[in-house]
Structure 1
Amino acid sequence: MDVFVARQPIFDRRQQVVAYELLYRARDSRVAEISDPDLATTEVFINTFMDIGLDRVTGQRRAYINLTRPFLLGQYPLPFHQDSVTLEVLEDIVPDTELIEALRGLSQQGFEIALDDFTFRPELVPLLRIADVVKLDIRQLDAEALQQHVALLRRFGVRLLAEKVETRAEFARCLELGFDLFQGYFFCAPAVLRGKQAVPSRLATLRLLHKLNVPEFRFDELAQTISTDATLAYKLLRYINSAYFGLRRKVESIRHALVLLGQKNIRIWLNLIALSHLQDKSHELMVTTLARARMCELIAISRGQEQDKDKYFLVGLFSALDAFVDMPMAEIIESISLADDIVEGITRRSGPLGTVLEMVLHTERGEWASMNPLGLSAAQINSAYLQSIAWAGEMMQLLGD
């Protein structure tokens, strides 16, 4: 049976990632000896992560996992440690005596319990007395109902998680209401602030990106540009001196580093380092962007387009460039030199580059029905996604301070 896996970050009030919700979906309905397709999906999901390892996917952060009723009732063992997961109770599970007793037992074992897509009904009060976290979909509740839910749920001493936070205004409103945790596209999407002037580090980054992406560039000129920025120079040397390159001797100058990289690799790796130089940006934004770039590259390789893999990497890397420099994408594109097919892929999601980028974005969001226009197998998509997450974590260590 094929299975797709994705993750969505969960943030605290300081916009730091504290957990990931794991999303999964099986595509094979021909399941032998199992009559419940939801149970079959969950069984595949758990077996998959027993083999892969949760830490590979979550980076040792907590995982929020949806489980079907048979697992919550103990008909099948939970192969997770209590400290590593939060068990999500779906909104359509019947809160009968059997389920409530089972959840109470799981809570006493040390498992954290979350109620997903919660809307208050009196019969759900016993669940609230057990739950640690309650997730409210802010798009399903109007402003008055949301405020009423927050006030009511505070009486039960639960932490509140706002789902589907998509704008800065919604995040500010949820902060004001007292939510503890947050989930939604706002945290990994651009926040376009009209009239905001780029600070010097961002202007320097744009200048570097322009120099990197002209058809030809001079090593001496590029080395001089990098040498004027101590942090950027340090990150370049730290990166190229790492075990990743396996060099036999240390690099001693910026120009030497550029020569060793070669013109083709310079564009890829310095673009990456330049973005990591924007230290005021969310760690999760950088991780997401790196994983996206790597997955675009891996999909290109799997489709026999290895000669163009660098273009696919750049499309993924630059897909959130407006979030890094807090400027509209159209203005950024005008200020740096990118090939036309890369621009079309980023801005219009068109052409081969855009098709792959769109596919990767659907995978990130768990939008399974729309994510595979290229006819790849589930195994290929799942492998590329998991490899990309692991690679992004390794790169963050190399590029870190």
Structure 2
Amino acid sequence: MIDVFVGRHAIYNREMEVIAYELLFRGNAAAEHAEFMDADAATSQVILSTFTEIGLDRIVEGKMAFINLTRSFVLGDYSLPLSKAGLGLEILENINIDQPVIEAVQRLSTQGYTIVLDDFIYHESLRPLVEIADIIKIDMQALPDGEVQRHVEILRKHTVKLLAEKVETHEQFEFCNRLGFDYFQGFFFCQPHIVKGQRIPPNRLVTLRLLAKLQDPVTSIRELETLISQDVSLSYKLLRSLNSAFYNLPRKIESIHQALVMLGNQWLKTWASLLLLSSIHDKPQELMQMAMARAKMCELLATAKRLSAKEIFFTTGLFSVLDALMDQPMEDVLNALPLSQEVNDALLRREGTLGSVLQCVLDYERGNWDAVQCMGLQQGEITQAYLEAIAWANQVSKETRVKMTH
């Protein structure tokens, strides 16, 4: 088992499509203090060997991967066991930029790597690096709006692409969009875009009402069967998914009734809820991917601790993005859903066992490594749950996208 924390943060283009992932990493104490000639170089080597062992494509799904490089790694003659075409090398802001570094970065650029300057603050002495760089990242939390605008004006004189990072609100995203940034990174997309007086749009209201019926404990199995069967689109997607190679069931399922008998009431509610949320088209695909990964990771952590009612952990993770999907405060959305008090407490206040598992998943997702704790589970167990969850979410996302096109 890999005894490190490994994560990813999505990078979007102006159409809100994921074009790359920045890879996050923290090793254990032994890895970080390995006896290499240089501690920075040791960390870089551990990062690379870790991603080689895990399999890079398992994390980035064919998208570009951005990794952070230390000064020692930039200057050292280390082999990169990764495709040059699919790799962005981030030159960290704390690297002392001198002639050896400039020459080393130029060599990496000539070899075909994408050069990215991280947390960039312009100074005339950095001009040689600007001339080499393909992408420059500007930290939206580090500079006031006026300084951001000044940087954009200076850097637009060069051919470099601009990436706004740590974009945490829709207002920040709109500001960066107006300035003409090419790429965006941050958690703004999983925040609800609340406009005062705005109600839930009719198409999402229908989805929410159907979710409410699915989650209502009073709904009988017969009512559940009728409910899903009457929604032609939902029942079609459900049967298509169940009969795909992804599930590899022993025999073909031809009706919702048969699905209920074979798989059970709670499973069908959960999967129908997932497909319903996947049908909301005016949100970034990554939001639903995140919901599925959260759901699966919550379930896997509950399984690792041998907790009962794993499907409730799955539902809690899945519903943790409801506010962003509906563009309403979470409390208002939950008022429309007959969920248990335990689930509500987890989603609103991170209380109870459900809440602590969800908080662990959210901390891991954001790379808040120091806060990642989950009922005494080992670092490697949590990482394994994360990797399995994103692999599962990738597969399900492909399945649901295929179903949408048929």
**Shared topology, TM-score over 0.5?**
yes
Question: What TM-score bracket applies, with the shorter chain setting the length?
Answer: over 0.9
Q: How far apart are residue 212 of structure 1 and its match?
A: 1.5
In 2, are the aligned partners of 1:118 and 1:135 still within 8 Å (CA)? yes
Q: How many pairs does the alignment contain?
A: 400
Aligned twin of 1:102: 104
Q: How far apart are 1:91 and its partner, in Å?
A: 0.5
Any gaps of 5 or more consecutive residues in structure 1? none
**Aligned-pair distance for 1:259?**
3.1
Q: Deviations over 1:235-274 (max 9, x none)?
A: 1111111223333432223333333321121222112111
Q: 1:119 aligns with which of 118, 121, 141?
A: 121
Rounded Cα–Cα distance in structure 2 between residues aligned with 1:248 and 1:80? 39
**Identity percentage of aligned residues:** 46
Contact 1:3 1:45 in 2 (8 A): no
Counterparts of 1:289 and 1:86 in 2: how far apart (Å)? 27
| Residues 1:267 and 2:269 aligned together | yes
Q: Which residue is equivalent to 1:358?
A: 359
Deviation at 1:373, TM superposition (A): 5.0
Aligned with 2:115: secondary structure? strand
Contact 1:2 1:28 in 2 (8 A): no
Residues 149 and 61 of structure 1: is their aligned pair in 2 closer, same or farther, counting only changes over 3 Å?
Answer: same
Task: Tell whether the 8 Å contact from 1:133 to 1:160 is kept in structure 2 after alignment.
Answer: yes
What 5-or-longer segments of structure 2 have no aligned partner? none
Structure 1 counterpart of 2:52, one-letter code: M
Aligned equivalents of 2:382, 2:43: Cα separation in 1:
17
> Which letter does structure 1 place at the counterpart of 2:259?
A
RMSD (Å), alpha carbons = 1.6
Contact 1:289 / 1:316 at 8 angstroms: preserved in 2? yes
* Contact map agreement 2:229 2:235 (CA 8 A) in 1: yes
Deviates more, 1:222-231 or 1:125-134: 222-231
TM-score by length of 1: 0.95
CA distance in 2, matches of 1:26, 1:249: 45
CA distance in 2, matches of 1:233, 1:94: 59
Residue 195 of structure 1 deviates from its aligned partner by: 2.2
Alignment of 1:310-349 (within 5 A): 310-349=311-350
Equivalent of residue 45 in structure 2, options 30, 43, 46: 43
Question: 2:40·2:73 contact (CA, 8 Å) conserved in 1?
Answer: no
How far does the alpha carbon of each residue in 1:49-96 deviate from its partner, in whole angstroms, 9 at most, with x for none?
111111100111001100112222233211111111100000011111
Aligned partner (choices 227, 230, 247) of residue 229 of structure 2: 227
User: How far does residue 231 in structure 1 lie from its aligned partner after superposition?
Assistant: 2.1
Matched, 1:372 2:373: yes
After TM superposition, the structure 1 stretch with the greater mean CA deviation from structure 2, 359-368 or 163-172, is 163-172
Matched with 1:186 is 188
**Aligned-pair distance for 1:215?**
1.8
Q: 1:141 aligns with which of 140, 143, 146?
A: 143
* 2:176 counterpart residue number: 174
Look up the equivalent residue of 2:67 and give its one-letter code.
I
Q: Which residue of 2 aligns with 1:70?
A: 72
TM-score, structure 2 length as denominator?
A: 0.94
Amino acid aligned to 2:189: F
**Superposition deviation, residue 156 in structure 1:** 1.6
Whole-Å separation in 2 of the counterparts to 1:32 and 1:49:
18
Deviation at 1:221, TM superposition (A): 2.4
Where does residue 154 of structure 2 map in the other structure?
152
Closer/same/farther in 2, CA of residues 32 and 219 from structure 1, 3 Å limit: closer
Q: Distance in 2 between matches of 1:233 and 1:201?
A: 18
In the TM superposition, residue 376 of structure 1 has moved relative to its aligned partner by: 2.0
| Shift in Å, 1:385 | 0.7
Aligned to 2:395: 394
Q: Is the 8 A contact 1:10 1:182 kept in 2?
A: yes
Q: Deviations over 1:184-212 (max 9, x none)?
A: 11023322233222233312211221112
1:233 Cα offset (Å): 1.9
Aligned equivalent of 2:209: 207
